[in-house]
Structure 1
Amino acid sequence: MEFDNLHQILRGLYTDMMPLCSNMAAVAKAIAGLGALIFVASRVWQSLARAEEIDVYPLLRPFAIGMCIMFFPLVLGTINGVLSPIVQGTNTMLESQTFDMNNYRKQKDILERESMLRSPETAYLVSNEEFDKQIEAMGWSPEDLVTMTGMYIERGMYSMKKSIRDFFRELLELMFEAASLVIDTIRTFFLVVLSILGPISFAISVWPGFQSTLTQWITRYISVYFWLPVSDLFSTILAKIQVLMIQNDI
């Protein structure tokens, strides 16, 4: 299974878990309602105790938060709609740099092969026809046998070196993609937890002394949402560095 499919599965998991927010909204409404009652009563009592006019505008805050709780899926969808273009943009940048890196890598391999084919001393390392041609041109004298053995050894060493290089290249790419998948998995887990507990956080923020709960939830949600874009940006920079190194070698 490709890593892109796994990322799609994680996005589908996040979407499938969103209905759980509605289940928490009922509990959040009760908490917010009680908190709004205490909040409004305390503000009105303080104004009456100080013989001041009642400021109605701050009293609207609990009702606004209550509306957000009632339509929390819409609120969450709005936040995701604002942030999702950033994720898509960074992913497009990564795909573009990866495509360029693969193209330059293929171009480098072709130029390296052509350069070795132009030299009779190295052509047999990359061409079977040239290798067979040089072997057939030799006789069975001790000197030719030594030369033939050396050619076989050098050709084997070159093939092994190329195989090891390709192996480590694929291994690093696999680890790179696996790290991105791990980050996306942890990110999805935290986003699901924050989304499910979002109505509760909104409700608690109605209570006096817990007003910062709302801003903390929004801050945490945005920061977790940006984990994947930051990872893609880091990957894009590394891919760009590899492109510049390959261009320098070409």
Structure 2
Amino acid sequence: MVLQIEFESLHQVLRSLYDEMMPLCSQMTGVSRGIAGLGALFYVAYRVWQSLSRAEPVDVFPLLRPFAVGLCVMFFPIIVLGTINSVLSPVVSGTHQILEGQTLDLQKLQAQKDELEKEALLRSPETAFLASDEEFDKKLEELGWSPSDIATMAGMYVERGMYSMQKGIRDWFRELVEILFQAAALVVDTIRTFFLIVLSILGPLAFALSIWDGFQSTLTQWISRYVSVYLWLPVADLFSSMLAKIQVLMVENDIEQLSDPNFIPDGSNSAYIIFMLIGIVGYFTIPTVTGWVIQAGGGVGNFGRNVNQTAMKAGSLAGGAAGAAAGNAMGRIKGGLMDKE
């Protein structure tokens, strides 16, 4: 829980960084206005001269384009960024609420599962001393000082020490995987924030250049890239929600098994770790998935290709080690769902 709060604060720092960097857009409007004004002059003059040379009436409506774009350049933070962010903000808020709901359910179920695991260990006389110090002391008091009892005591100490060591290693590896999972999300969010800041600061220049003949596609390319990068966060939240839902199904299945008095948990958490590894690889496919929603070219597409190649290599390495355990985990989920039906 503390780890989650720390990473959430880092994500909040990135949000604040974006807000703090937005005033820099005004520093580009002066240069951009000059480029836009010169482009509008040539744009209008060329078309008016072309119509006059052909003895055709001047079509005024197409001539309004450079003035509309120039108006966007002059009030870029309000008209362009304000409009786009206002339209896309509900999408970000909606997906984040979905993620918070799934995470809250998972935390409640995980706490219930941990309590049931402890109760399951306490039910069995052979494993009760592993989970409780009182049961361990009580069992030691029941033993005498005969050679067989001394050997039993030594075995109990060794078994309890091995259990504590294995539990510590599992908890350490689980925490390491969780840190890597959160770090992958932070990497994607950091790159997203960097792209948005660059696009926002240089946006007035892109709009100004779009007035010139031959650069008209700059306007649509900038909008598509900005929207595509902005949607990385909602797609990441949806991906995290999917992983959280899978974990909820797994924990619910474990809770049903723990309800059986004869069931003894092993506490390996292998399926949980496997899906965390899958999540680490899956986070780097977010640029490609977002590109399916909003088609954007240029640097974002190249970044997505490079990231996907890296993710595929990492996935092939992780898949060989985790394939068998993943099959067992999915079998547990499927079995739990069939039992419900």
Work out the CA distance in 2 between the residues paired with 1:151 and 1:214.
Answer: 73
The aligned counterpart of 1:154 is 159
Of residues 36, 43, 47, the one that matches 2:40 is 36
What's the offset of the Cα at 1:174?
1.6
Give the drift of 1:50. Answer: 2.6
TM-score (norm 2): 0.71
Q: Does 1:221 align with 2:226?
A: yes
- Which residue of 2 is the match for residue 20 of structure 1? 24
| RMSD, aligned α-carbons | 1.4
CA distance in 2, matches of 1:50, 1:162: 86
Alignment of 1:52-91 (within 5 A): 52-75=56-79, 76-91=81-96
Equivalent of 1:195, from 174, 197, 200?
200
Q: Which amino acid counterpart does residue 240 of structure 1 have in structure 2?
A: K
Instruction: State how far apart, in whole Å, the 2-side matches of 1:166 and 1:8 are.
Output: 28
Q: 126-135 or 161-170: which moved more?
A: 161-170
Q: Aligned equivalents of 1:85 and 1:30: distance in 2?
A: 35
CA contact (8 A) 1:180 1:228 kept: no
- % of aligned pairs identical? 69
Match of 1:243 among 239, 248, 251: 248
Deviations 1:22-53 (A, max 9, x none): 11011111111111111111211222233222
Superposed counterparts of 1:85-234, under 5 Å: 85-234=90-239
TM-score, L = length of structure 1: 0.95
Secondary structure at 2:202 match in 1: helix
Single out whichever of 81-90 and 213-222 deviates more from structure 2: 81-90
SS in 2 for 1:208: coil
Out of 46, 51, 60, the residue aligned to residue 50 of structure 2 is 46
Distance 1:6 1:118 in 2: 43
For residue 329 of structure 2, what is the aligned residue in structure 1?
A: none
Within 2, Cα distance between the matches of 1:176 and 1:213?
Answer: 36
Secondary structure of residue in 1 paired with 2:213: coil
Relative to structure 2, which stretch is displaced further, 197-206 or 12-21?
12-21
2: CA distance between counterparts of 1:113 and 1:38?
Answer: 78
Partner Cα separation in structure 1 for residue 209 and residue 66 of structure 2: 10
The residue aligned with 2:269 is none
**Residues 167-221 of structure 1, C-alpha deviation per residue, up to 9 Å, x if partnerless?**
2222222222222122111111111110110000000110112111100000010
Dislocated runs of 4+, deviation >3 Å: none
What amino acid is aligned across from residue 65 of structure 1 in structure 2?
V
Following the alignment from structure 2 to structure 1, what is the Cα–Cα distance between the partners of residues 139 and 6? Answer: 44
CA contact under 8 A between 1:113 and 1:126: conserved in structure 2?
yes
Gaps of 5+ in 1: none
Query: For 1:91, what is the secondary structure of its paired residue?
Result: helix
CA distance in 2 between counterparts of 1:92 and 1:116 reads: 36
| C-alpha separation in 2, matches of 1:47 and 1:167 | 75
- 1:129 maps to a residue whose letter is E
